[in-house]
Amino acid sequence: MVARLVIAAPSSGAGKTTIATGLMAALVRAGLAVSPHKAGPDYIDPGYHALATGRPGRNLDPFLTSEDLVAPLFLHGARDADVAIVEGVMGLFDGLPDGYASTAHVARLIDAPVVLVVDATGQGQSVAALVHGFAGFDTRVRIGGVILNRVGSDRHEEVCRAALDHSGVPVLGVVRRTPGVETPSRHLGLIPVAERRREALEAVARLGDLVTASCDLTALVALAHTAPPLAADPWTPGEIPAPRTRVAVAGGPAFTFGYAEQAELLEAAGAEVVSFDPLRDERLPEGTRGLILPGGFPEMHVHDLAANEPLKREIAAFGGPILAECGGLLYLARELDGHPMVGLIDAKSHMSPRLTLGYRDAVVTADTVIGRTGERVRGHEFHRTVTDLPGERVYRWRGGADGYAAGRILASYLHLHWAGTPEAATRFVKECG
């Protein structure tokens, strides 16, 4: 059995990431092996979770994978851990219609107690009404405790605690308003760890100190141990054979978006997965037969990407299969905000004030290096750029379309979780020869 907690909140901005990351760091400091998880398709928060725990941050998303895979994927990530912490997404019950893919949905699928992080700013007795409403809204979700966040004074704490005394939901922590613990953000959320590693390490340590001083770690761990055994087997990518081909995956500060299961599936399909940094490396790793350019923030590093002419030339001449998602698509285009990129796709990209965000249930319209015509795939868009892609779109969904495929190139704004489409790895490795 894996002891586990879901850290949720009534709404976005209540402090879930602060509390979840701080709790992970605090428990590791207490000597526990902690497995970090994130509900939904977020790529950035898991980077901070990984810093706090020393383990890959893993996503649990029933839309991108399936309801049936959430518990197995959770058990795969939590193997050999003492406790697992799952950070929620948005408000506890916010997701698709009927709460599908919400934090509450994930909590039900892994049968985990929920700790509700409540921003107490400007509230007193109303805190109890809010908690009472959330605790009774869906009795399939067990709210096992509350952490009061941004409490202003001793008197404020007394009022909130007294109001919650008769709620039946214990207060497991009270976190005071603490300037300087916030992690800096920009147009798509927090700044990724890879862009500020030293500062991020310091921030995670401060969060661990804050939670240790403010929360009842013993009670939180005890609550985690009330989670029952799961009737599921851990997910597995399959047996890992001796590698027969090499797949290079872009990383570094400009390309930080990815799911850990992708590399695991590629390895199980016979690939040796190696990383390179397009900001620094002037050559692809020796022997590269396939190339993956994941999402990230190339727009924030456009000058350095444009200046690395040797690597751009090598990628432009590369003959193997190339998969580019979101940021990778921008890098393969001819221009990004007026700066020359690789040029394999005759398109220009530019920043936009409009955020494109949401799940996509798409149909594949042409054979690609990972898909076949007529197949359905579920993905996620998350960007503030626009690209004038040429040709026909390779993914179509109700009300939209996206994606470019030509020869052995597939480029799209769509992010896929390969645990939901494991054949993608097999097909990509086969394309590598």
Of residues 409, 378, 410, the one with CA closest to residue 62: 378
Distance CA 13, CA 227 (A): 27
Residue 430 tokens, joined: 């086969």
Which residue blocks in 43-153 are alpha helix, DSSP H?
A: 45-53, 67-77, 103-109, 126-137
Distance CA 270, CA 278 (A): 24
Instruction: Give 366-384 as a DSSP string.
Output: S--SS--TT-EEEEEEEEE
Quick check: helix, strand or coil at residue 168?
A: coil
Distance CA 199, CA 253 (A): 14
Residue 292 tokens, joined: 């993956």
Residue type, position 151, single letter: V
Catalytic residue (one of 160, 215, 326, 432): 326
Contact 381, 358 (CB under 8 A): yes
Distance CA 6, CA 209 (A): 20
Quick check: helix, strand or coil at residue 430?
A: helix
Contact 212, 181 (CB under 8 A): no
Which residue blocks in 215-325 are alpha helix, DSSP H?
A: 217-224, 260-268, 302-307, 309-316
Distance CA 65, CA 123 (A): 39
Of residues 263, 248, 304, 308, the one with CA closest to residue 282: 308
Residue 284 tokens, joined: 């692809």
Of residues 418, 416, 410, 372, the one with CA closest to residue 391: 410
Distance CA 321, CA 256 (A): 20
Residue type, position 205, single letter: A
Computed over its alpha carbons, how large is the radius of gyration of the chain? 22
Q: How many CB atoms lie within 10 A of CB 244?
A: 13
Q: Is 215 a catalytic residue?
A: no
Distance CA 424, CA 360 (A): 17
Catalytic residues: 326
